[in-house]
Amino acid sequence: MSKPLTDQEKRKQISVRGLAGVENVADLKTNFNRHLHFTLVKDRNVATKRDYYFALAHTVRDHLVGRWIRTQQHYYEKDPKRVYYLSLEFYMGRTLQNTMVNLALENACDEAIYQVKTYLQIFQDGGTGSAEEADDWLRYGNPWEKARPEYMRPVHFYGRVEHHPDGVKWVDTQVVLALPYDTPVPGYRNNIVNTMRLWSAKAPCEFHLKDFNVGGYIQAVLDKNLAENISRVLYPNDNFFEGKELRLKQEYFVVAATLQDIIRRFKASKFGSTEVVRMDLTTLPDKVAIQLNDTHPAMAIPELMRILVDDEKLSWDTAWDITVRTCAYTNHTVLPEALERWPIDLFQNLLPRHLEIIYEINRRHLERITALYPGDYDRLRRMSLIEECGQKKINMAHLCIVGSHAVNGVAQIHSDIIKDTVFKDFYEVDPQKFQNKTNGITPRRWLVMCNPGLAEVIAERIGEDYIRDLSQLKNLLKFVDDDALIRDIAKVKQENKLKFAVHLEEQYKVKINPNSMFDVQVKRIHEYKRQLLNCLHIITLYNRIKKEPNKAWTPRTIMIGGKAAPGYHTAKMIIKLITAIGEVVNNDSVVGDRLKVIYLENYRVTLAEKVIPASDLSEQISTAGTEASGTGNMKFMLNGALTIGTMDGANVEMAEEAGEENLFIFGMRVKDVEALDQKGYDAMEYYNRIPELKQVMDQISGGFFSPGEPDLFKDIVKMLMHHDRFKVFADYEDYIKCQEKVSALYKNTKEWTKMVIHNIAGCGKFSSDRTIAQYAREIWGMEPSLEKIAAPDDPR
């Protein structure tokens, strides 16, 4: 068994993360102590781990600030077209180490902290356990963000609309203030630092002394809380849409604040004079691109129209031309229940002016469709922005398509599906709008940062330029039969597994066999992602080991992680089933360490950075045609895990890049799923025909995994047997056979690792650098720049 390198040994290595001599270690030590004393007002007698983390964060942030300011100055002078990527949520991951990697500071900071006897490892996990609590991430402050109260903007809700000869007025509104917080986002060693701007809701005024009586005070507190609830907690969103007013408020809040910010910045002259402003808003699309990340920021379309028509007094046609040329829409799901449809009465109450604008957009849109397809009333119904069946609702995806100049999916199969089925009518009318932009991942976080050992092994063979140009990974194919590379990659994997085994033992009090196959499925818990298919395999494998305990089984540690939306009952029951199976399997002395089942609690980016480099097998087993793309599949592939998966999402392109023979592909293709839908899926047919499947289902339904509550999983059993839209049983046989191939190959370390090399070499396409360059050229009308800004002066 390979012994992992100590941190001190790693520090001595020449690493792609930068040498300790690049930055003055003495200066970093001085700045660290300065922040501990003068920013945090602590000394080492009373400082906590969190204080040390904050001191280092502020020290590293000092090196960002000059670059951040210089970047904004550069943009101001050059006046380039700006892209505004509107999203309701960003899964950022930890900022400290990512920043150190991108600024080439990691080894210098590592050495500086080591020298002050407070080694970096103590706060790589965030300082204390409480710092990792995702639900209260601002409890102790955020050293990376900067409040910008000077750019606070009013956001209006409710009220009524007045129509006057000189225009339309939205009056008697309730106002909430949007306070921006900026987080620096550094590029990789190019001195460029862009900005992520988040908005916090604030009540519009403080208490008035004249109202300071008991009743007035209490009401003021209630009103303040009500206003600030908008950004207190993001309304949980999964692939189920719930039409709640708070969610719509959140969506409009971020859009309204951002658009005011965009217009303000657009109008400002580069010369900085308040007297000289750019007033010709018809040039907005030449300087501004707005990318709508799914339908959550769809309100940008009617809000921009409101600003242009009501506030800027442009004609409807001019305003519409500007809006369409400025906005573009990325679709992220084909599941009908996930597509946002807002009730008309909710809109009428909360955003009355925007409802009028959407009605007018729809009227003009349907006039165009009528002209193209006279008499085709069914097409009009299908393409309308307003759904009339039952409760009247606004289809936000239709609004996005009509109001954007480009519409894209996030994997080729996904983009084909939205053209062929989900948005087929719209594609037939405007085929030029529809594109594909396959997702990507950043190799800086998902290789250099989280798997430095593998990054170094690769750099030793092909150099370090692949970090900026991931397509260079294909050069690894020249070494696919090289015994030294095969040995080094296998060694790095084993070291990562040993480290993760230690982490599991510390965090979960579970001891696992690091020589077992680490079989991992980590993603949101959802029926279409088919964690249940994984469960069926686990139970089948358990039954086989129990039946033939003396057989030479390939040992597996199966790890499943993910979060369920709060109101998603089935997802929560899936988690209960996983843990119940684990209770039985892990405590069975006959099975021993040949099979372990671990549910990874609180799965998040930070945990992903640990488990993905340690994984041998990546489970990507959604029903064909349901996963838009996935990015976890790419992260596992880049980190040397082999994929068992269906031909769904980006799996299809992964198989094209690495060779289908280098993935474990099983199950129905999209056409097979469609054919089964036509025929009619009958789960009972599979249950009655496949003895092992019948045994597994009988165990679940009979209380084998829940002896104290035999009917605990009755809802899951009922769903699988009678109304499973995702056809788990249809792929069961092929999945089990494919898993047998996985177990057989895993015994041959050399051949397994050669397949790993093919996969890593095939990852070049899946860099976010490639994805963003395609967005820039093909949607935003921009040429990506590789220009490196001059480094600022010493931050001190």
Q: What is the pLDDT of residue 743?
A: 98
- Of 247-251, 277-281, 527-531, 545-549, the poorest mean pLDDT is in 277-281
Q: What is the pLDDT of residue 241?
A: 60
**Of residues 10, 50, 332, 572, which has the active-site annotation?**
332
Residue 654 has pLDDT above 50, yes or no: yes
Q: Are strands 153-157 and 327-330 parallel, antiparallel or unpaired?
A: unpaired
Q: What is the pLDDT of residue 244?
A: 87
Q: What is the pLDDT of residue 107?
A: 86
| Cα-to-chain-centroid distance, residue 183 | 17
CA gap 602, 563 in Å, rounded: 7
Q: At what angle do helices 245-267 and 214-232 cross, to 10 degrees?
A: 80
Q: Is 354 a residue of the active site?
A: no
Q: What is the pLDDT of residue 233?
A: 78
| Cα-to-chain-centroid distance, residue 490 | 29
Residue 94 has pLDDT above 50, yes or no: yes
Average pLDDT over residues 199-214: 69
Average pLDDT over residues 400-426: 97
Q: What is the pLDDT of residue 121?
A: 38
Work out the pLDDT band at 116, boundaries 50, 70, 90. Answer: confident
Residue 210 has pLDDT above 70, yes or no: no
Q: What percent of the chain has pLDDT over 90?
A: 80
Q: Are strands 288-293 and 556-561 parallel, antiparallel or unpaired?
A: unpaired
Which residue type sits at 345?
D
Q: What is the pLDDT of residue 272?
A: 44
Work out the pLDDT band at 510, boundaries 50, 70, 90. Answer: confident
pLDDT in tens, 444-478: 999 999 999 999 999 999 999 999 999 999 999 99
Residue 540 has pLDDT above 50, yes or no: yes
Tokens of 378: 């069914």
Tokens of 790: 């001059």
Q: What is the pLDDT of residue 795?
A: 47
Whole-model pTM? 0.92
Which residue, chain included where needed, has tokens 């030449």?
286
Q: Is 523 a residue of the active site?
A: yes
CA gap 474, 652 in Å, rounded: 18
Q: What is the pLDDT of residue 306?
A: 98
Measured between alpha carbons, how far is residue 359 from residues 323, 446, 723 in Å?
16, 45, 37
pLDDT in tens, 692-727: 999 999 999 999 999 999 999 999 999 999 999 999
Q: Is 332 a residue of the active site?
A: yes
3-state secondary structure of 266: helix
**Of residues 29, 296, 493, 524, which has the active-site annotation?**
524
pLDDT in tens, 750-765: 999 999 999 999 999 9
What's the number of CA atoms in the CB half-sphere (13 Å) around residue 288? 26
pLDDT, mean over the chain: 91
Average pLDDT over residues 675-692: 98
Q: What is the pLDDT of residue 127?
A: 34
**Of residues 631, 643, 753, 771, which has the active-site annotation?**
631
Contact (Cβ atoms closer than 8 angstroms) between residue 792 and residue 191: yes
pLDDT in tens, 314-342: 999 999 999 999 999 999 999 888 889 99
Contact (Cβ atoms closer than 8 angstroms) between residue 474 and residue 764: yes
Q: What is the pLDDT of residue 507?
A: 85
Q: What percent of the chain has pLDDT over 70?
A: 89
What sign results for the dihedral spanned by CA atoms 28, 33, 37, 40? positive
Residue 21 has pLDDT above 60, yes or no: no
Contact (Cβ atoms closer than 8 angstroms) between residue 524 and residue 562: yes
The DSSP result for 212-235, as a single string, is -SHHHHHHHHHHHHHHHHHHHSPP
pLDDT in tens, 25-81: 989 999 999 999 999 999 989 999 999 999 999 999 999 999 999 999 999 999 999
In the chain, count of helices (H) and strands (E)? 31, 20
CA gap 98, 650 in Å, rounded: 25
Measured between alpha carbons, how far is residue 362 from residues 286, 348, 387, 407 in Å?
26, 16, 11, 18
Q: Is 635 a residue of the active site?
A: yes
Torsion on CA atoms 319, 321, 326, 330, rounded to nearest 10: 110
**Of residues 70, 94, 523, 727, which has the active-site annotation?**
523
Residue 156: CB atoms within 10 Å: 17
Contact (Cβ atoms closer than 8 angstroms) between residue 519 and residue 642: no
Residue 18 has pLDDT above 60, yes or no: no
Work out the pLDDT band at 572, boundaries 50, 70, 90. Answer: very high
Q: Is 631 a residue of the active site?
A: yes
Q: What is the pLDDT of residue 547?
A: 98
Contact (Cβ atoms closer than 8 angstroms) between residue 309 and residue 102: no
**Of residues 58, 529, 594, 596, which has the active-site annotation?**
529
Q: Which residues of 303-339 are buried (b: 16+ CB within 10 A; e: fewer)?
A: bbbbbbbbeeebeeeebbbbbbbbbbbbbbbbbeebb
Contact (Cβ atoms closer than 8 angstroms) between residue 229 and residue 201: yes
Measured between alpha carbons, how far is residue 499 from residues 8, 400, 448, 504, 687 in Å?
15, 46, 17, 9, 41
**Of residues 17, 58, 63, 635, which has the active-site annotation?**
635
CA gap 654, 215 in Å, rounded: 63
**Which of 555-569, 592-606, 739-753 tops mean pLDDT?**
739-753
3-state secondary structure of 272: coil
What's the number of CA atoms in the CB half-sphere (13 Å) around residue 477? 15
CA gap 460, 466 in Å, rounded: 11
CA gap 408, 425 in Å, rounded: 15
The DSSP result for 269-333, as a single string, is -TT--SS-B---GGGHHHHEEEEEESSTTTTHHHHHHHIIIIIS---HHHHHHHHHHHEEEE---
Q: What is the pLDDT of residue 24?
A: 81
Q: What is the pLDDT of residue 260?
A: 98
Q: What is the pLDDT of residue 337?
A: 82
